[in-house]
């Protein structure tokens, strides 16, 4: 890690060196792990994967428009509050909360609760109130915190935005885009070779040193949305997720549009989830079907679709397009926590009402998205999902993925695909340790007429203790359920097929429940003619007395038909004697 003076010196030295090389007619510069997106001609992607841009070619506002609307202000940063991990041991993980100074008073109570929640998860966090400044001053601030042990940070509100430019695609297009990689790689060299305010050269050690998340709500203006209100609601969701008050189904959705339906990326999602719902059929990957899946309850979603900052585009085999806009997503209020967005520009946080923002700032559930601020998105999903499955934070998983894809430097095509990747949301979140209760599905044993019946249901997940009940359906009247143990018991006096529903509810502040259907049959004990719950010589005597002496009939004639002859007679008595004393076959009533 370099200090600021050495950083400036290296920058000047690099510029002078390049000038001298060109002055002496040398046409190229070779440097280990160097990348030069602005001057390098686009290289073919060896994977041959189509980019995700939307078919309407929506124009994007660039650096000049951003600077015009965000003039530079005087830089100031203050330490607002440090909250220590309650264990206060040497394993504390240090995390920074950098927040726009003007915004902080409006969400102070939410930030207080956030720090308490972070401490419960092993983080010591410090709030820094920042105003003004440039990307360089923010990066220098992060460098100093990194030297003090900071592992990651979240940027809340309007803070300096770094921009990168590169020549990409075929035919070549010049792209400029906001990027947070600049704040993650703190010891690499970032250069603006043409001095136009946009970085275009990256060299040295290019691996991320910290992980960064961004909570930028000011561009979200739909329906009169207010930045502070959106953030207060976000941190409320964050708290409920951390404490188990908000639980998702432990499963993922892989919704992969036509151009990538043969990619096999759903198998990479399965590296983190045992249950993955896959939608890849060209006729099924439409906006209406995606809308249905958005409210079906998933912890994680991989959405692969052509997109702009505001709209997803889905094609059909006939060539028609269906779309899903940001305002429709707000209205749907999706039931999912984490999104991996293989979409062009959907996470461009400088664009008004950008999709990656609305996914996490909807009223109900969203927590974090990983996506791109430009054309291009994540590839090598097989590197990302195992980290997420290991219990690493979303930020760590993302930073590790970025380290892995750049472990041998970044080729020109990799710059174009990956440099706009960013994480919107809280980067400290992990896969939930909580889950909704799930009743174990087992085949219940049949009941026996007039015998005591006992069966105990079991469940996993949720918050103990459970509360059990028979919800509805046709259950034998004589059976009752213990609400605390899940045991159902009683003596059954009916022979029939029954269908009823059993429900379990957990002890969460907002209880979660599961409901299963029970198909249950009550039979009789074959050969038990005298209804004493056993089969022996007494039943043979009972049948003989019934047949020859006019004695009482078996309570259930079918139970006396031990040899399946569809009649109760002396042959059944002989059959029972043979079974009881000579090892003959067991009664086989019809």
Q: What average pLDDT does range 529-543 have in this prediction?
A: 88
> Is residue 192 domain-shared with residue 273, that is, in the same domain?
yes
> Is residue 359 domain-shared with residue 257, that is, in the same domain?
yes
Asked whether residue 467 is domain-assigned, the answer is yes
Residue with tokens 């203006």: 221
| Least confident segment among 82-86, 198-202, 372-376 | 82-86
Question: Alpha-carbon distance 373 to 85, whole Å?
Answer: 34
Q: Are 416 and 208 in contact (CB under 8 A)?
A: no
> Is residue 273 domain-shared with residue 374, that is, in the same domain?
yes
Q: What average pLDDT does range 331-355 have in this prediction?
A: 97
Q: Are 230 and 243 in contact (CB under 8 A)?
A: no
Residue with tokens 């939307």: 54
Asked whether residue 242 is domain-assigned, the answer is yes
* pLDDT score recorded for residue 163: 97
> Is residue 259 domain-shared with residue 370, that is, in the same domain?
yes
Q: Which helix (H) or strand (E) holds 371?
A: strand 368-372
> Is residue 394 domain-shared with residue 470, that is, in the same domain?
no
> Is residue 508 domain-shared with residue 376, that is, in the same domain?
no
> Is residue 404 domain-shared with residue 462, that is, in the same domain?
no
Asked whether residue 81 is domain-assigned, the answer is no
Q: Are 88 and 122 in contact (CB under 8 A)?
A: no
Asked whether residue 103 is domain-assigned, the answer is no
β-bridge pairing 211-215 and 480-481: unpaired
Q: Are 350 and 372 in contact (CB under 8 A)?
A: no
Q: End-to-end alpha-carbon separation of the chain, Å? A: 84
Residue where a domain terminates, one of 378, 399, 425: 425
β-bridge pairing 123-131 and 93-100: parallel
Asked whether residue 14 is domain-assigned, the answer is no
Residue with tokens 């505001």: 310
Q: Is 269 exposed, middle or buried (0-12, 13-18, 19+ CB in 10 A)?
A: buried
Whether residue 31 is predicted with pLDDT greater than 90 in this model: the reply is no
Question: Alpha-carbon distance 412 to 172, whole Å?
Answer: 12
* pLDDT score recorded for residue 152: 98
Asked whether residue 586 is domain-assigned, the answer is no
406-453 tens-digit pLDDT:
999 999 899 999 999 999 999 999 999 888 888 998 788 888 877 889
Residue 56, CA distances (Å) to 15, 306, 310 in order: 40, 10, 12
pTM confidence score: 0.77
> Is residue 379 domain-shared with residue 301, that is, in the same domain?
yes
The token pair at 141 is 């601030």
* Strand ranges (E), 252-296: 252-256, 276-279
Residue where a domain terminates, one of 465, 493, 523: 523
363-389 tens-digit pLDDT:
999 999 999 999 989 999 999 999 999
Question: Alpha-carbon distance 488 to 516, whole Å?
Answer: 14
CATH classification of the domain holding 501: 2.60.40.10
Q: How many CB atoms lie within 10 A of CB 443?
A: 8
130-154 tens-digit pLDDT:
999 999 999 999 999 999 999 999 9
303-326 tens-digit pLDDT:
999 999 999 999 988 889 999 999
Range of the domain at 218: 31-70+161-425
Q: Are 475 and 496 in contact (CB under 8 A)?
A: no
> Is residue 445 domain-shared with residue 416, that is, in the same domain?
no
H-type alpha helices, 24-91: 63-69
Asked whether residue 517 is domain-assigned, the answer is yes
Question: Alpha-carbon distance 98 to 140, whole Å?
Answer: 13
Q: Is 57 exposed, middle or buried (0-12, 13-18, 19+ CB in 10 A)?
A: exposed
> Is residue 443 domain-shared with residue 421, that is, in the same domain?
no
> Is residue 327 domain-shared with residue 471, that is, in the same domain?
no
Asked whether residue 130 is domain-assigned, the answer is no
Residue where a domain terminates, one of 523, 542, 559: 523
Domains held by the chain: number? 2
Question: Alpha-carbon distance 233 to 210, whole Å?
Answer: 27
> Is residue 170 domain-shared with residue 270, that is, in the same domain?
yes
């Amino acid at each position: 890690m370099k200090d600021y003076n050495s950083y400036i010196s290296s920058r000047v030295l690099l510029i002078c060196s390049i000038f001298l090389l060109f002055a002496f007619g040398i046409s190229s510069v070779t440097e280990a792990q160097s990348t030069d997106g602005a001057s390098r001609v686009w290289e073919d992607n060896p994977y041959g994967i189509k980019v995700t841009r939307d078919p309407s070619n929506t124009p994007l506002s660039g650096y000049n428009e951003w600077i015009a609307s965000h003039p530079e202000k005087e830089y100031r940063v203050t330490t607002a509050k440090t909250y220590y991990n309650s264990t206060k041991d040497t394993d504390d993980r240090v995390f920074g909360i950098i927040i726009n100074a003007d915004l902080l008073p409006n969400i102070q109570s939410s930030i207080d609760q956030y720090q308490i929640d972070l401490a419960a998860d092993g983080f010591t966090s410090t709030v820094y109130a920042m105003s003004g400044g440039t990307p360089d001053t923010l990066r220098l601030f992060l460098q100093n915190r990194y030297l003090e042990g900071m592992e990651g940070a979240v940027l809340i509100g309007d803070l300096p935005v770094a921009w990168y430019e590169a020549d990409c695609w075929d035919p070549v297009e010049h792209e400029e885009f906001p990027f947070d990689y600049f704040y993650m790689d703190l010891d690499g060299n970032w250069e603006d070779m043409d001095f136009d305010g946009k970085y275009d050269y990256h060299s040295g050690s290019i691996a991320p040193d910290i992980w960064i998340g961004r909570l930028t709500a000011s561009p979200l203006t739909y329906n009169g949305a207010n930045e502070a209100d959106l953030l207060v609601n976000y941190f409320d969701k964050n708290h409920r997720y951390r404490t188990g008050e908000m639980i998702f189904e432990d499963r993922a959705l892989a919704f992969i549009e036509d151009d990538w339906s043969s990619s096999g990326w759903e198998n990479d999602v399965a590296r983190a989830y045992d249950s993955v719902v896959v939608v890849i059929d060209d006729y099924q990957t439409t906006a209406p079907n995606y809308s249905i899946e958005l409210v079906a309850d998933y912890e994680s979603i991989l959405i692969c679709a052509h997109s702009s900052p505001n709209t997803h585009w889905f094609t059909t085999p006939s060539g028609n397009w269906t779309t899903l806009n940001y305002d429709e997503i707000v209205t749907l209020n999706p039931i999912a926590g984490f999104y991996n967005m293989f979409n062009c520009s959907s996470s461009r946080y400088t664009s008004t009402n950008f999709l990656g923002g609305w996914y996490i700032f909807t009223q109900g559930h969203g927590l974090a998205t990983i996506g791109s601020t430009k054309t291009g998105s994540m590839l090598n999903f097989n590197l990302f999902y195992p980290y997420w499955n290991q219990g690493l934070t979303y930020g760590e998983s993302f930073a590790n993925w970025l380290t892995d894809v750049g472990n041998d430097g970044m080729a020109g095509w990799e710059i174009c695909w990956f440099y706009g990747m960013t994480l919107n949301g809280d980067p400290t979140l992990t896969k939930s340790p909580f889950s909704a209760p799930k009743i174990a599905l087992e085949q219940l044993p049949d009941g026996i007429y007039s015998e005591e019946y006992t069966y105990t249901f079991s469940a996993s997940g949720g918050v103990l203790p459970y509360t059990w009940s028979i919800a509805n359906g046709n259950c034998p009247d004589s059976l009752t359920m213990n609400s605390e143990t899940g045991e159902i018991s009683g003596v059954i006096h009916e022979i029939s097929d029954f269908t009823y529903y059993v429900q379990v509810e957990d002890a969460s502040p907002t209880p979660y429940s599961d409901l299963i259907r029970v198909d249950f049959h009550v039979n009789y004990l074959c050969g038990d003619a005298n209804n004493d719950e056993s089969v022996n010589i007494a039943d043979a005597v009972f049948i003989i007395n019934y047949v020859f002496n006019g004695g009482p009939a078996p309570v259930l004639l079918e139970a006396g038909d031990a040899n399946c002859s569809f009649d109760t007679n002396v042959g059944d008595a002989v059959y029972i004697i043979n079974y009881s004393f000579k090892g003959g076959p067991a009664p086989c009533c019809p």
